[in-house]
Amino acid sequence: MTSAEVSQIWSAFVVNMMFKAHLEYFLVHCNDLEIRSVLDSALQFSNKITTGARAFLNEEDYPTPIAFTEKDIHLDAPRLYTDHFYLYNIQNLSQYGMLGHSLSLSVSGRADIREFFSNCVRETVELYNRATEVLIKKGLYLTAPTVPICKQIDFVKEKSFLTGWLGERRPMTVLEINYIVANYLGTAIGRAVCMSFSQVARSKEIRAYFLRGSQIAQQHLRAFQSMLSEAGLPSIPSFESEVTNSTIAPFSDKLMMIKVVSLGVIASARYGQALGEGGRHDIGANYAKMLAGTLKFQEEGAKILIDRGWLEQPPTAVDRKALARV
């Protein structure tokens, strides 16, 4: 395998070991039969990915990552989320899964690895569609705002299209609205996760870290809502009410830390993409500020993981200087 293929296979294994732990816990408490069916499918899919990824690593004599074990999940813990949150979580994760597996496919050359990630893309699309259909059926699907239909094609004629610092601002484009809504929903789920973990984490330091993440996410949500409100667009609900008052942890502090740092990585990618698309300067400035804060939060989390010996190192290139004893 090439380094690109190893990186994607290694990551797929670790990430899906974490997903498996979440799904097994979700299924203990899920009462809604339609949502249980979606969770069952998601768990089977994660099992298939971890089995396939392990086989590829073993074939090349790479050690299988430790990732997570039965010590990292406590299935007897009380319910921490509502059934509805399980479904929103699956929809959200499958959105990122479609992007992640597509990237893995695009950097893979070996036919069997391309086939593996092609199947991952297909099954993630199917999972996303199933989760979305159930959300729509239950009246839970959160849609982006609608805008009036344009009657003709137009082109940008003035550089003021890019401004937004002072004076009158032009209406947001549908691209800008899309990024704000998508980032809002992803951040809202992240805030609910941080809030729930801050209730149950055993370590005082880690509880404080999760609480800080919840506060940062809340600041970002307010900024997104402010931009939508200024444009005369409706507000979007959040997910705090989908978290119960349980204070008993269903997962180890290690698993919860890695989950939250991973959500930070995803948020950074979302903000960076939105920033890179350009548009009004004031919107770009908001994303730049959010991105900087999120990257700092990620770094703090990585330091906690390293200090506690929880950050598993991916395969690396050979250190030639060390071999030469330089």
Q: Where are the domains of the chain?
A: 1-141, 170-311
Domains 1-141 and 170-311 share a fold: yes
Q: How far apart are CA 200 and CA 252, in angstroms?
A: 10
The answer to whether the beta carbons of residues 30 and 36 sit under 8 Å apart is yes
- Beta-carbon contacts of 252 under 8 Å, excluding residues fewer than 6 positions away, are 68, 71, 72, 73, 74
Averaged pLDDT, 8-36: 97
Render pLDDT for 187-220 as a digit per residue (tens, 0 to 9): 999 999 999 999 999 999 999 999 999 999 999 9
pLDDT of residue 147: 79
Residue given tokens 């010996």 in the structure block: 309
Superfamily of domain 170-311: Ferritin, core subunit, four-helix bundle (1.20.1260.10)
- Is the pTM of the predicted complex or chain greater than 0.85? yes
- The contacts of residue 288 (CB under 8 Å, 6+ apart) are 275
Confidence bin at 158 (pLDDT 50/70/90): low
pLDDT higher than threshold 90 for residue 290:
yes
What CATH class is the domain 1-141? mainly alpha
Please, how many CA atoms are within 13 Å of residue 182, restricted to the half-sphere of its CB? 17
Q: pLDDT digit string (tens) for 62-83? A: 999 999 999 999 999 999 999 9
**Residue whose pair of structure tokens reads 């699956």 in the numeric block:** 90
- Residue 170: pLDDT band (50, 70, 90) is confident
Residue 203: the pLDDT is: 97
Q: State residue 318's pLDDT score.
A: 84
